[in-house]
Structure 1
Amino acid sequence: MMSQTQSNLNLHVDIQDLNKYYHRQDDTPMHALKDIQLKIAAGQIFGIIGRSGAGKSSLLRTLNGLESISSGQIHVLGQDLAQLNHDQLTEFRKRIGMIFQHFNLMSAKTVRENVALPLKISGVAASDIARRVDETLALVGLANKADHYPSQLSGGQKQRVGIARALINQPEILLCDEATSALDPESTQSILTLLKEINQKLGLTIILITHEMQVIRDICDEVVVIDHGEIVERGTVWHVFSQPSQEITKELLDLGHHNLPAGIHAQRNDQHQHQVISIYYVHALQDAFNLQQLLKPLRAYTLLQSRVDEIQNHCIGELLILSSIEESGITAPTDPALLSVRIKEHGYV
């Protein structure tokens, strides 16, 4: 069995009972982060998702000491941040890179100069700067853009410069603050692919905040949902997507959006002949599953809509069904390949 000391070595973030208060203009406190408990393992791509104002950015900024905490404990890379003085905290931050939504590049400096800036500030030798900048620009796919200015780059390329600048100090953790929110879908996918490659090549822990479930779906290993300063749900991405327990998670997943038939009613009356239901199911990709088994209890039905996603080697499916009102109702099959089956009733037509 792994000892507690060994276990802690595999953690890059360990937060216990973290609380954060801000003070409004009238000096009344606002409880921004509430009793946060969070552990993030080394090498993970970890997502934090929630609506605007939920506390995502406040939580992220506590990880590099940009936000102080009001109570609790926060250990990052084995360091108790509350115990670090100013100089120690400045040195510690070199171990953590950060990329932002709006790039924050210096328009009068070239790509090479923007990426080199943290090293120049740290007093690194010019020959070492040149080598590390060339290596980092190659890593992010911008070796041929080194002498360009930000105005000559696309949004996706600017974000790659931001990523290169965050990586130039060879950090162990990369923080991403809504890093794709300002990008078009094609650029977003390109950046997410790059972050995956960086995670795999460098073994870097990546922690990102977003309000976009698609970003979480495409890149993360685990996710927490934060709402009004509290972590309300946590799990592997496939599990949270397939079996959300909180209403906020369902809203973020947009599970309530269906092309429901016209004239649907919540209450049944004598004129209704059909019931509209959704069937959600999950199985591992390697386990064969016959969809007909799921629908076998229904003698008569019409398939209105279907959707299937592949997330972390799991198949997550949804069927929107119009079934005969005389049916006794669908029951979950006993097929061992199915990890989960959920039924939602929408109404009657």
Structure 2
Amino acid sequence: MRDDVRAFVDDRIRPNIAAWYESATFPVELVKELGSLGLLGMHLKGYGCPGRSSVEYGLAAMELEAGDSGIRTFVSVQGSLAMTAISRFGSEEQKRRWLPGMAGGDLIGCFCLTEPTAGSDPARITTRAVRRGDGWVLDGAKRWIGLASLADVAVVWARDDGEPGKILGFAVPTDTPGFTATPIGGKLAMRASVQCDVTLTDVHLPADALLPGCTGLRGPFTCLNEARYGIMWGVLGAARDAYETALRYALDREQFGSPIASRQLTQQKLVEMVLEIQKGLLVAERTGRLKDAGLLRPEQISFGKLANTRAAIDVCRSARTILGGNGIVLDHSPMRHAANLEGVRTYEGTDEIHALIIGRAITGIPAF
């Protein structure tokens, strides 16, 4: 499976990613191909989902992000967020309606949690769900919503207006009047992917749009942890690609009469990269084995997301220095990966949030 995904990346992503990144284009034509490879909702079972292991999903995420974070992000938003929400908390009818098409790449989903004023603190979301007759009406705004302008269904989290302490999830067809998604422009990272502002204005939904399996933040946090798990693998793909690019360059590039790979300072950089990548892989694999065994705790996911993302950024930045001035153009991947990873570092929990999750586990004292 890993080799199949790697071959897909080599054939379909590497030759095109510089152009997609420069033009800020998400290659929507890849979606059905990703589905045919069994990469969409691959860790879920039933309803057309592949039912692969957590470790297999992690390996796929790593190979995809070796191509670009934006491609792995699509798979993460589709599978770990939107599909997981429907699979874990949806009704039988919702599962049958949405999951088979999403698994095959015929339908696209998005996950609407973050708001303009509620990022790291989702308990503060202000999007409202109001009972109206036999159904619901949603009003509010969301921000940084991956895939929203491409999506067929949006999983929207809102506060129950009748019980303000209760958070509800809804499966919202995006052609519902009042749902509007506007791509965010001017991004310096994640350019080969789509993130949007979403407005929900008097969005009328039938009663069966409600995800019945969850009330409260347990629902979105369950999905976020699935995405965070994939990230700890994915970022290592970006780091590995940056390292391999720097190594090839160092062996070919001659200065002062010999390849720069023969210089002690360059070898030191390459060694540090290998150390960080290998340590990260050990963390990711161990985390995946615990997840498959049903023994994984949330703080262990935070450990992997925080440690591996931080290490991957350092690897990519160091790889760029080996490339010298040539490293700032899109002919080479390390600086693109480093820019993307600044986005990855922020979404699904910032460094600070994951540090606080781990700190709470260590001390027993929440310090958010």
Normalised to the residue count of structure 1, the TM-score between the two structures is 0.26
Rg larger for: 1
Normalised to the residue count of structure 2, the TM-score between the two structures is 0.25
